[in-house]
A and B are shown apart, each in its own frame.
Chain A
Amino acid sequence: MVPGSKKRLFNTKSFDQFILTQFIISSIMIRNYIKLTWKVLGRNKFFTFISLFGISLTIGILLVVASLFDNMVNPSYPEENRARSLHLMNLKLEDGQGASWIDDATPYFINDFVSKLETPEAVGMVSKPEKHICLSFVGNNKLKLDLRYANQAFWDIYTFDFIEGGPFQQSNVDNRDLVAVISKKTRDEYFGVNQSAVGKMINTDYDRFRVIGVVEDVAKSQTVTYGDLFVPYTTAKGGLDSKHFLGEYIGILMAARKRDVKKMETEYQALIDRLDIPAPTESWQKNLKIFTSETLTLMESIAINIFWGDQKESAARNLRLLIVIAILLFLLLPALNLVNLNASRIFERSSEVGVRKAFGATPKTLMVQFIVENIILTLIGGLIGLLLAFCILQVVESAEFFQNASLGINYRVFVFGLLLSTFFGVMSGVLPARRMSKLNIVNALNGKIV
């Protein structure tokens, strides 16, 4: 035996005993807190109802906002790779005298320049949404289909779920094959619900396409991947021969890894800096001074859409600021209200505080008791809020903009709700609990809360 090890063994044991004792004390305490909380909540039912109503409503609404935001920001079907992608939008020409021309890119720019970059694993492109609305007739019904022209890499970048068939291949693109991938909704409307569509023809006022694949529907809020009909961009009627840069295609650059996104952006900027810019018109040819083009991260593309015309950095900054202010305001008011409600609920119990202190409760024990009570209250409120949010989201989902979006309460939103409830519990409990736990015992026993 190593000298001194006996002593250490003894110490370890007593340390274990200490931990065990602490654990027993805590579990006894927690059980009693819960027991008491239950009774306290039942004591003043109207009060509890008002508290719970406020908490549930606030948490419910915040969860709805969180779910919508989550749907916008976090990778969801089929844009699971958004974190390692950059969107190429809003290319801009300026004449240096205040006139500018902003548009998306042309296949020429994307194929001949962007695709040559080394960092991107894939460079996809797709025409703007709602740019090509084609008409199709089923019996006497007119279908308006949002047609999207895309290249083959588009299918590599986005993880569409194919119900049947598959995407078009590079050979389809090269051969200008009139083939189409359609959405489930289009299939159901055109061919009949759950009817097989692959191999069948779909007539539109643009062209007659052979269906080669059917994908699950995408929410309309996902502007890059939403569509009723996806066809090779080479079948488009115009714009293919253009040697200009500004056009109607959104470019998508996807890096192999998320950490390469910055590198990809730098490489892209270097490309822009050394480009010889073709001007779209003769008058522009004379005036052309500056060409700028930016790739946008997800946050930036959302921000640019909201703060139209702003620079991407300031737009993203504004959006973040707006979100933070909105959340703070949203949290602050109900939190203050709860502090108030809790203060009166806790102060009512000054005599109990006095008794507990007289019989050996330390200020810390009491403080923990009140905070645990509050957390339990807010967790119950959070649970009701969750149900409320669930119901609201069901309604929101049926709104057109979020059509096909799966806005459910996923684990991220759930964890957010949990954290939110705990935050409320702690925030609204700490102040009154602190004041109460520091109360002079004699005053507390006499019901004085000063």
Chain B
Amino acid sequence: MISLQNVEKVYQTTSIETVALDGINLEVQQGEFLSIMGPSGCGKSTLLNIMGLLDEPSAGDVILNGSKITGYSNKQLARFRNQNIGFIFQSYHLINDLKVIDNVELPLLYRNMSRKERYDLSVEALTKVGLKNRIDHFPNQLSGGQRQRVAIARAIVGKPTIILADEPTGNLDSRMGNEIMDILLKLNEEEGTTIVMVTHDESMALKTHRLARLFDGTWVEEKAFQH
């Protein structure tokens, strides 16, 4: 499903060369829920960005759903992300000017789809995250947990096979964090969506199938859990 082979990421300025990822190999199976932990600045987000095709590796290969993503144009990358990947960010990144329903249908705007189809799919996604009754609200009328649920609805509305979540519970208290985690677990279990989640919270990571620890751009530990 997701395969990273010898992925390197080096940030270069005129004077310094910073190695963010150093020869990362990773295999994520279909339907797996992987969590990635590590101290700040260890390259977790960079890794997730490369997996999500938001950033390019300096070296190495990214293989998603069997396609080797090399030499793709911006347009092809955009299309691939649109069809296959859903993103959840720590700070939600909702568009405040748009209603909940409009935020959720955003990925569908870039598909060939009628208004009705988009509406129906968005309502379905919002139902899954328990916010069907909030479709006409604006993001700033919602709590943090609700906003993240809207962001999850947006991530799943296009029925992607992969969901990449960058500290989805990082801005939430533990009760809301658990709610979000429950939604993600359910999504993984019931729909078989592959999820890769970066987190700082070990208790969240323990609920996933596998935990990988990153330190200074390389793997230092890997644990699988039986639930």
Contact = CB atoms under 8 A, between A and B. Distances in A.
Nearest to B95: A352
B98 interface: yes
A321 B199 CA distance: 66
B26 interface: no
A364 B106 CA distance: 16
Contacts of A359: 81-82, 87, 106-107, 110, 154, 158
A360 B87 CA distance: 11
Given A360-B82, A360-B107, A36 B97 contact: yes
Interface stretch (B49-57, B59-67, B171-179, B216-224): B49-57
Given A360-B79, A360-B81, A21 B49 contact: no
A356 B97 contact: no
A360 B102 CA distance: 15
A354 B55 contact: no
B54 A441 contact: yes
B93 A445 contact: yes
A355 B114 contact: no
A29 interface: yes
Given A355-B95, A442-B49, A24 B112 contact: yes
A42 B98 CA distance: 12
B119 to A, nearest CB: 12
A45 interface: no
A39 B49 contact: no
Interface residues of A, number: 30
Interface in A330-388: 351-352, 354-365
B109 interface: yes
A441 B93 CA distance: 13
A32 B109 contact: yes
A32 B112 CA distance: 14
Interface residues of B, number: 30
Contacts of A275: none
A25 interface: yes
A25 B112 contact: yes
Contact of B93 (A21, A39, A355, A440): A355
Contacts, number: 69
Contact of A362 (B74, B98, B106, B158): B74
Contact of B78 (A21, A352, A357, A440): A357
B33 interface: no
Nearest to A366: B78
A362 B76 CA distance: 9
Task: Give chain A's interface secondary structure class.
Answer: helix
Nearest to B73: A362
Contacts of B83: 360
Contact of B98 (A36, A363, A445): A36
A358 B54 contact: yes
A349 to B, nearest CB: 8
Interface in A20-70: 21, 24-25, 28-29, 32, 35-36, 39-40, 42-43
Given A24-B112, A32-B109, A442-B49, A358 B87 contact: yes
B80 to A, nearest CB: 9
Contact of A365 (B49, B110, B114): B110
Contacts of A39: 97-98
Contact of A360 (B49, B95, B110, B114): B110
Contacts of A36: 97-98
B109 A441 contact: no
Contacts of B107: 359-360
B110 A361 contact: yes
A358 B110 contact: no
Given A356-B106, A441-B55, A361 B78 contact: yes
Contacts of B93: 351, 354-355, 445
Interface string B153-179: 010001000000000000000000000
B81 A358 contact: yes
Nearest to A363: B74
Given A28-B115, A362-B75, 14 more contacts: A24-B114, A32-B109, A36-B98, A39-B98, A357-B54, A358-B81, A359-B87, A359-B106, A359-B110, A360-B78, A360-B110, A363-B75, A440-B55, A445-B93
21 contacts: A21-B112, A28-B109, A32-B109, A36-B98, A39-B97, A355-B93, A355-B95, A358-B87, A359-B82, A359-B87, A359-B154, A359-B158, A360-B79, A360-B81, A360-B110, A361-B78, A361-B109, A362-B110, A363-B75, A441-B55, A442-B49
Interface of B: 49, 52, 54-55, 74-75, 78-79, 81-83, 87, 89, 93-95, 97-98, 102, 106-107, 109-115, 154, 158
The 4 tightest CB contacts between A and B, nearest first, are A360-B82, A39-B97, A360-B110, A359-B107
